[in-house]
Amino acid sequence: MTQVSDAYDPEDLLDLGPLPTYDGYHATQVAFPLGGIGTGCVSLTARGALVDWEIFNRPNKGTILPYSFFTIWARAQGQEPVTRVVQGPPSPPFTGQGGGGYQGYGFGVTREDGSGLPHMWSSEFRGEFPFAWVEFEDPALPVQVSLEAYSPFIPMNAAESGLPIAVLYYTVANISDKPVDVSLVGSLFNPVGYRGSGPFIGEHLGGNVNEYFDDGLVRGLRMGSDKYPADSPRYGTMALSTPWSDVFHQAASLRAGWFDAMHDFWDHFSADGTLPEREYPPSADGSSDVGSLGLRAHLEPGDSTILPFFISWHFPNFVKYWGSGGDSCCCGHDCRPVWRNYYASQWTDAADAAHYYADHEDRLYGQTKLFHDSLFASTLPPYVLDAVSSQASILHSPTVLRLPDGTFYGFEGCHSDAGCCEGSCTHVWNYAQTVAFLFPALERSFREADYTYNLDDSGHMGFRLQLPLGSPPSQFHAAADGQLGGLLKLYRDWRLCGDDVWLRKWWPQAKRALEYAWTQWDSDRDGVIDGIQHNTYDIEFSGPNSMIGSFYLGALRAAEEMARHLGEAESADEYRELYERGRARLDGELFNGEWYVQRPNWELTPKYQYGEGCLADQVIGQWLATLAGLGPILDQEHVRTTLQSIFAHNWRAELWEHANAQRIYALNDEKGLLACTWPHGSRPAIPFPYSDEVWCGMEYQVASHLIYEGFVEEGLAIVRGTRERHEGTRRNPWNEFECGSHYARSLASWGVLTALSGFEFDLPHRTLGFTPRITPDDWLSFWSVDGAWGTYAQEIEDGRGTASLRLDYGSLKLDCLVLGSVAQAAPVDVKVAGKPVAAEASMVDGRMVVCLKEGVELQKGQALTVRVG
Amino acid sequence: MTQVSDAYDPEDLLDLGPLPTYDGYHATQVAFPLGGIGTGCVSLTARGALVDWEIFNRPNKGTILPYSFFTIWARAQGQEPVTRVVQGPPSPPFTGQGGGGYQGYGFGVTREDGSGLPHMWSSEFRGEFPFAWVEFEDPALPVQVSLEAYSPFIPMNAAESGLPIAVLYYTVANISDKPVDVSLVGSLFNPVGYRGSGPFIGEHLGGNVNEYFDDGLVRGLRMGSDKYPADSPRYGTMALSTPWSDVFHQAASLRAGWFDAMHDFWDHFSADGTLPEREYPPSADGSSDVGSLGLRAHLEPGDSTILPFFISWHFPNFVKYWGSGGDSCCCGHDCRPVWRNYYASQWTDAADAAHYYADHEDRLYGQTKLFHDSLFASTLPPYVLDAVSSQASILHSPTVLRLPDGTFYGFEGCHSDAGCCEGSCTHVWNYAQTVAFLFPALERSFREADYTYNLDDSGHMGFRLQLPLGSPPSQFHAAADGQLGGLLKLYRDWRLCGDDVWLRKWWPQAKRALEYAWTQWDSDRDGVIDGIQHNTYDIEFSGPNSMIGSFYLGALRAAEEMARHLGEAESADEYRELYERGRARLDGELFNGEWYVQRPNWELTPKYQYGEGCLADQVIGQWLATLAGLGPILDQEHVRTTLQSIFAHNWRAELWEHANAQRIYALNDEKGLLACTWPHGSRPAIPFPYSDEVWCGMEYQVASHLIYEGFVEEGLAIVRGTRERHEGTRRNPWNEFECGSHYARSLASWGVLTALSGFEFDLPHRTLGFTPRITPDDWLSFWSVDGAWGTYAQEIEDGRGTASLRLDYGSLKLDCLVLGSVAQAAPVDVKVAGKPVAAEASMVDGRMVVCLKEGVELQKGQALTVRVG
């Protein structure tokens, strides 16, 4: 029985403050993804190095692009110049890692990232997605160097948030008392032809060309290859460019053996801060070149400037490397499906993407910054902001793709060099909330693809979308949780956009998917699922249980609401009736006074059940229903007791005594929520796989649900424990993994924000609402619905105070605002953009609802303000 | 210009004390090799886990044998039992490492080593090769658990030091106040069929059988496979056994899916401290089993016992996986040479090796312990003992082999999964001293193989022995340093054994190898090498230089001595004359007042020369000559000045400003000796490869030489710096790598011991000598020559005191003992085994030489004692 106080002082859980900083030498696991949605990414380490080049249409962990780094040269007047690779010191171990010939373990620190050259003494990293900052320190340099790195990320604007670019702004400040000449050179290997994983050097190279370009707006090196036709998966371009005007370049480093090229680079650049131009014909087969672009500045004492670099890429042709054929297809590339990335239809090549960015730099930077500022202005504990924001970086990761028509697609997560596993998996993505709130159109494209391609006539839904789009659906088990969760997600997405046309379009398919339950899982139509239930634990449950059961009840309730809205009263009544029956049985037969148990059909499924266990996910359907605005679907007191039991039994303040034969995502002194426990015994000899594991996504689900039901400290403790496990030396704060990196389930973290803010959205009725769960007298939080985002602030105490809904982006038609913190009727004074408007406040279910007489369409920069009492 | 005091307080350098201990959680790089000479090894980590299973006839870094670990169960009377995997806690990062499907990065801590099961709270590791100890701590256990691990390692006894076994003695002490029942179970995966590298699971498995055996002396599981014939490289056996009598076993863990087997293991063992027997038919193709052997004990309060486990192996057939054909030979295994390991002819299988060990346990353990105790009793600073002993572990590593006839063979070092590079490379092994002193017969087999197989009629010597033995020699450049160094090594080896028959047998070949210089490198026979000189930097020097030149001068002097001894006065005179001419030119033309420069022939070799540089290896021939007892071959004052210059210019107290485009073996705040510097400029645009690197083996060479020439602090500072780089978190103390792991050059560290003890050996004249360089008034050190080893102790101050040569192993015919610490004539009183013997002391070159009138043959346990003054 764990209590919050076993781990934390409950009061500390509410402390506000900055997010953590990461010392580059120790926080070796930090890797912050830079890139667009569906473009892949490259990640920035706490040393300030670029690693994990996952821009080649597949994951690619642990990679560094050879000799691709930044080097600064600074000469204070009358003094010797100082030259530094702009990276903190390499971190132990210094043995080299992995295998290979003349490299890897036993060959020392890699020299390919410049580790052997003089580098900064230290670095300190901060990350507030989508921004990362690195401060470098070196006692010998006459300048102070820091880096701001980001890629455009603007909620509601998926297209421009899909720019294939990493933007690096280096701030250089003269901290000496003499004028300083500065030269900052970026070097980049031309990898065009690369297979997407494995060594960068190899026979895929050849014909590589680095061309200097200057289109008036940006200038730099465009890197291509003449070896591959435009439809080849190996075809593409990269660019290293800048809008800075005082530049020099070296298209290729010395072509020579041994270490000659690096000697040549260093000796030239460290001597006088420049590199001689050098032109070569296209590279020989099997080889390529490193190109360098230098930016020069003169700084008087006290001056500082920002030296901007853009790394952009354009690898248009995505090859399906998994499934039949896969990597080792015997008949070559031609038999593997290839399609075009969505981003490839927006920009013509890497230089074009850089040009586009430069052309819209102020707006793209400004709107991304505004999103950041609005989100991080929230009066949430830092670890919550960290959980909420950091996992949004999954949208920059290779976990997600955009298909040729723009359809959003997600793996579950990433193997080191491949997606894992395919198909926007309905049961894993059940947990994910971030996309629904930040890019609702992308989330809706999940629903659309599911109902277009995964559903057969019987209502059986493949739970893994098969590519290319239009491929026949999988014939494997339907996933009960994924398929039924789809109804709840459809309901949520409709409530977020208010688009009845859209709902009506997909409603027939949604019905079919729901009613498939009657042929498969609830064949006796008693409202209780009891057939073979494949689910997110990759096995099949059997018999009544509240985990799948709550999805079913939530789906029935969501379907009832949608059917009624669409005028299908008969269906609505039928769903309602079934729901009532099922709810009665679940609450009556499965609740043991502390939690809901499973009644397995042991003959059908002799192994891998949970039986009397306390399953962390046991009321997940209720969570989704609550989040989507459906209210209680099970007895609320049962649910509350259950959530308390889950926290007490499944959350651990340390794991020293936990025996886990399964996958290890938390251990030793770490805190974590176990997927299942058997507090009163009856643990099966062979429990279901994953029962003894700790999943971040599940933790956010439970934490969010605890908070929705008022157990704020318990929910916060779970979140804090999760994030403490990702402290930079143990794990990467920007990569919560489960079955692989950047695991989509962690997108459940957005649900912690919606729970803490008590955010309600009912766009069909032009209504938003907030019930802050902490500090209602001093509250500010980010919110978003389809087409609009902004902040909500309130200072309400004892039913008196002000509330203000501010729009930072888009526009929003609004009729009503629910003030959940006001429990008694009181006079209200409402303004829109500073001007009084007519409104009426009424009390509904003990909460104040303020409705505008005329409604309003709020515009960017405007606020709706309510003074109460 | 570095001074010792820039890095250390010179007085601290002499402090004695214990060797470092390593905390298992932080010292993640510790891996201590267990195994025999030429058998491969498995390594023990500071957590107490077994890793790097390199027993399959090739290196195999980063591997863990699935589910192979030890687990303890302890139940104090009347209390709940406590069960722990006998390993310290897993260390960060917790992300998983490397690639693969459903494993590696993004899949969490590996569960294959039991990391998910309850384990010890902490572990502390100590290693004094050949012994390692781990102390485990856990607050819940009623017992204290510690481990002593080793493999027999007895200087002069190469055969029994080649037992393919890792011996693990677990001491379990009851620290509670109640009787405790204890059960310690070892689990081991049957890997027979394994390819030597890559995943342990795969199609190579199948037909694996774990059989329980009890031969009366040992009992346990013999692991084999019926899939491969006895001559297959995949054929072999392993055994997990014990001489303990109260045992239980489970031949195979549950054959089942998911995590079922581990659940079954843990649930049974943690419940009652035993496992049910289980028998299966041979495993299905592609799979194998984990077998477990349990030892039971009952301990009253205060009692302790030692629970012994033997892990032995027998993989008799070595396949040549490199060179033509190599790993991917298109015609299958049959075209690749296969030979039998020497150890395979000594024991019939893994169970036989375990039986042999048990049968001779007291003697093998006792003699290994005596070697350890004698070595570590030495009054040397701990980091010197660490350097000297730890690198002897290379003899346990896959860097070395023993060929079918017992010939010793060495790679340079190890790639992660292959030797690197082949052929007992003459130039790298030039630096190595340990084998010559501890296993002189093995070292001599190097000479024998070189002169038998590498030498052609012209005197050209391949510098990489081609396998299988008898293959034609390489036609690539002869290595000038390796070939000429051979004469010095021959001379040393003869002086260490005193076997004139052996010398006479190889003398003609040695002459031929020397005189090859006259056709190739010194074609004008002026005593100065100036042709194309391939060397240990993997490039060719040209023109006069003292690096190759000193090898040549040393070779001429060694040849002169040997020729004269063998009665070839004419040759001796010729070599002498050439030596004198060459020495005059080197000292006259290359010494620049501070060091010896190179005069490259830039037309012949436009790149990769050192020219005016200060090369750390520039007087390496003098070092070998000094060590072998030849005395000065260059002007001694020049050499001393040169060594001081090398220290001042090339040794760095930190490397922040060092720009290294080459391989990175030292960096940041670390200390290290650079291979070359250009203190007065003239650094070539493209210097020779490795010029900017730090090599441990080169550091020991220079440190040893500095100490021989009286610069003790400088030499000690270098050694301490080297070992500080190997502090367990940055690098493995038992793996100094260069071009790969366990790099043979580091065997130069034995030269630090010979230098500090001023050890002289002249077995042809039955003479040993000592001139301790530190604390001559309180000195003890280990010594060894062919057939004998022991300790030398002296307490001599102001020419008065005692000296005692004690024999711990073998026998030694001795006429004279040189007391280098006695500078003036004085009366002596000599005893052998406590009995006075007649002796005469004379002063030769200012040092006392004590000669016995009758000579003596010292036996094991006897000492020769000299009281002076």
Helix (H) or strand (E) run with residue B354 in it: helix B350-359
**Which residues does chain B have within 8 Å of residue A89's beta carbon, measured at their own beta carbons?**
667-668
Instruction: Answer whether A729 sits within 8 Å of B93, measured CB to CB.
Output: yes
Q: Checking DSSP bridges between strand B676-677 and strand B760-762, what pairing results, if any? A: unpaired
**Chain A: residue nearest B268 by CA?**
A685
The encoded tokens of residue A722 equal 């999760």
* CB-based contact A661 B116, cutoff 8 Å: yes
Closest-CA distance, A90 to chain B, in angstroms, reads 8
Q: How far is A806 from chain B (nearest CA, A)?
A: 39
Give dist(CA A4, CA A15) in Å, integer. 15
Interface of B with A in 41-70 (CB under 8 A): 61-62
- Yes or no, beta carbons of B659 and A116 under 8 Å apart: yes
- Put simply, the answer to whether A266 touches B659 (Cβ < 8 Å) is yes
Both tokens of A346, joined, read 């927006």
Tracing tokens 């009506």 back to the chain, one arrives at: A504
Q: What digits encode the pLDDT tens for the residues A675-724?
A: 999 999 999 999 999 999 999 999 999 999 999 999 999 999 999 999 99
Which among B110, B266, B416 is the nearest to A659, CB-wise?
B266
Q: Name every chain B residue with its beta carbon within 8 A of the beta carbon of A660.
A: 111, 116-117
Those of residues 12-41 in B touching chain A at CB distance below 8 A are 28-29
Structure confidence at residue B329 as a pLDDT band (50, 70, 90):
very low
Give every CB contact of residue A85 below 8 A, 6+ residues apart in sequence. Answer: A69, A70, A71, A114, A115, A117, A118, A119, A120
pLDDT at B330: 44
**Is 50 exceeded by the pLDDT of residue B490?**
yes
Q: What confidence score (pLDDT) does residue A325 get? A: 52
ipTM of predicted complex: 0.96
Q: What is the pTM of this model?
A: 0.97
Contact B99 A61 (CB under 8 A): yes
What average pLDDT does the segment B350-364 reach?
98
Mean pLDDT of chain A: 97
Rounded CA separation B410/B151 (Å): 20
Q: What proportion of chain B, given as a percentage, has pLDDT over 70?
A: 99
Candidates B89, B264, B667; nearest CB to A94: B667
pLDDT of residue B326: 55
Range 254-283 of B in CB contact (< 8 A) with A? 256, 258-260, 262-267, 270
pLDDT value for A331: 46
* pLDDT of residue B334 exceeding 70: no
Tell me the per-residue pLDDT of A746-777, one tens digit each, with 9 for 90 and over: 999 999 999 999 999 999 999 999 999 999 99
Best B63, B262, B663 member to test A by mutation, with max A CBs in 10 Å, is B663
In degrees and rounded to multiples of 5, residue B663 shows phi and psi of -80, 150
Contact B106 A741 (CB under 8 A): yes
**Which residue does chain B place closest to A738, by CA atoms?**
B107
CA geometry: angle at A573 spanning A568 and A574, to 5°? 100
Q: How far apart are CA A503 and CA A567, in angstroms?
A: 12
Mean pLDDT of chain B: 97
List pLDDT tens digits, range A715-749. 999 999 999 999 999 999 999 999 999 999 999 99
pLDDT 10s digits, B223-235? 999 999 999 999 9
Contact A133, B446 (CB under 8 A): no
DSSP string of A809-832? EEEEEEEEEEETT--S---EEEEE
- Asked if the Cβ–Cβ distance from B416 to A100 is below 8 Å, we say yes
Q: Please count the other Cβ atoms lying within 10 Å of the Cβ belonging to residue A184.
A: 24
A 83-122 → B contacts, CB under 8 A: 89-90, 92-102, 104-111, 115-118, 121
Q: Where are the alpha helices (DSSP H) in A709-844?
A: 712-725, 750-757
**Do residues A143 and A174 lie in contact, with contact meaning Cβ atoms separated by under 8 Å?**
yes
On whether any CB of chain A is under 8 Å from the CB of B635, the answer is: no
Report the pLDDT value the prediction gives residue A329, as an integer from 0 to 100. Answer: 46
CA distance A393 to chain B (A): 15
Of the candidates B200, B190, B2, the one whose C-alpha atom is nearest the C-alpha of residue B100 is: B200
Residue with tokens 């294959």: B112
Answer whether B416 sits within 8 Å of A270, measured CB to CB.
no
Question: What are B764-773's pLDDT values in tens digits?
Answer: 999 999 999 9
Locate A396 and state its tokens: 């920059």
Interface of B with A in 644-673 (CB under 8 A): 656-665, 667-668
* A 126-145 residues with CB < 8 A to B: 140
Most B CBs within 10 Å, among A112, A113, A258, A260, to test the B interface: A258
Write out the two tokens for B513: 């190898």
Residues of B whose CB is below 8 A from A106: 61, 413-416, 735, 737, 740-743
Q: Say how many residues make up chain B.
A: 869
Give the HSE-up count for residue B121: Cα atoms under 13 Å, Cβ half-sphere: 9
Contact B93 A660 (CB under 8 A): no
Q: At what angle do helices B696-708 and B750-757 cross, to 10 degrees?
A: 10
Out of A97, A661, A663, whose CB is closest to B266?
Answer: A661
Whether residue B106 and residue A725 make contact (CB cut-off 8 A), yes or no, is no
Give chain A positions within 8 Å (CB) of B740.
Answer: 106-107
Cβ contact, residue pair A264, B735, below 8 Å: no
C-alpha to C-alpha distance for A122 and A126, rounded to whole angstroms? 14
Cβ–Cβ gap A417/B99 under 8 Å:
yes
pLDDT in tens, B84-133: 999 999 999 999 999 989 999 999 999 999 999 999 999 999 999 999 99
Interchain CB distance below 8 Å, B116 and A659: yes
Residue A326, pLDDT above cutoff 60? no
For the residues B801-814, what does the mean pLDDT come to? 98
The two tokens of residue B81 are: 């039992």
Any CB–CB contact under 8 A between A735 and chain B? yes
Chain B contacts of A668, Cβ < 8 Å? 89-90
Would the pLDDT of B328 be above 70? Answer: no
Measured between beta carbons, the chain B residues lying within 8 angstroms of A732 are 95
Residues comprising chain A, all counted: 869
The tens digit of pLDDT for each residue in B756-792 reads 999 999 999 999 999 999 999 999 999 999 999 999 9
Strands (E), A603-725: 614-615, 651-652, 672-673, 676-677
Residues of B in contact with A92 (CB under 8 A): 29, 729-730
- CA–CA dist B621, B633 (Å, integer): 8
pLDDT digits (tens, 9 = 90+) for A445-457: 999 999 999 999 9
Closest alpha carbon within chain B to A740: B106
Mutation target vs B (from A105, A414, A683, A739; most B CBs, 10 A cutoff)? A105
Is the pLDDT score of A330 beyond 50? no
CA distance B353 to B41: 14
| Pure H helices in B633-737 | 636-650, 696-708, 712-724
Q: What is the pLDDT of residue A323?
A: 86
Q: Supply the pLDDT for residue A254.
A: 97
Residues 465-484 (A) with a CB less than 8 A from some CB of B: none
Question: Shortest CB distance from B689 goes to which of A62, A259, A665?
Answer: A259
List, for residues B695-738, the tens digit of each pLDDT value.
Answer: 999 999 999 999 999 999 999 999 999 999 999 999 999 999 99
Whether the pLDDT of residue A34 is over 80: the answer is yes
Of A415, A664, A685, the CB nearest to B115: A664
Q: Residue B668: which of A94, A321, A168 has the closest Cα?
A: A94
pLDDT digits (tens, 9 = 90+) for A831-859: 999 999 999 999 999 999 999 999 999 99
Is the pLDDT score of A126 beyond 60?
yes
* Residues of chain B with C-beta less than 8 angstroms from the C-beta of A117: 659-661
Q: Among A108, A661, A737, whose Cβ lies nearest the Cβ of B111?
A: A661
Interface of A with B in 584-623 (CB under 8 A): 607-608
pLDDT of residue A334: 57
Mean pLDDT of B362-385: 98
- pLDDT tens by residue, A565-612: 999 999 999 999 999 999 999 999 999 999 999 999 999 999 999 999
pLDDT at A269 over 80: yes
Q: How far is B60 from chain A (nearest CA, A)?
A: 9
Contacting A residues, span 311-340, partner chain B, CB-CB under 8 Å = none
DSSP state of B284: P
Nearest CA-CA distance, residue B58 and chain A, Å: 13
Q: Which two tokens stand for residue B570?
A: 């004419």
Q: Which residues are within 8 A (CB) of B511 and not within 5 positions of it... i.e. 6 or more apart?
A: B559, B563, B571
> Hey, which bits of B180-334 come out as E strands?
180-189, 208-214, 219-225, 237-242, 247-250, 290-299, 304-314, 317-319
Number of helices and strands in chain A (H, E): 17, 39
Q: Which of A537, A664, A676, A746 to mutate to test the interface with B (most CBs of B within 10 A)?
A: A664
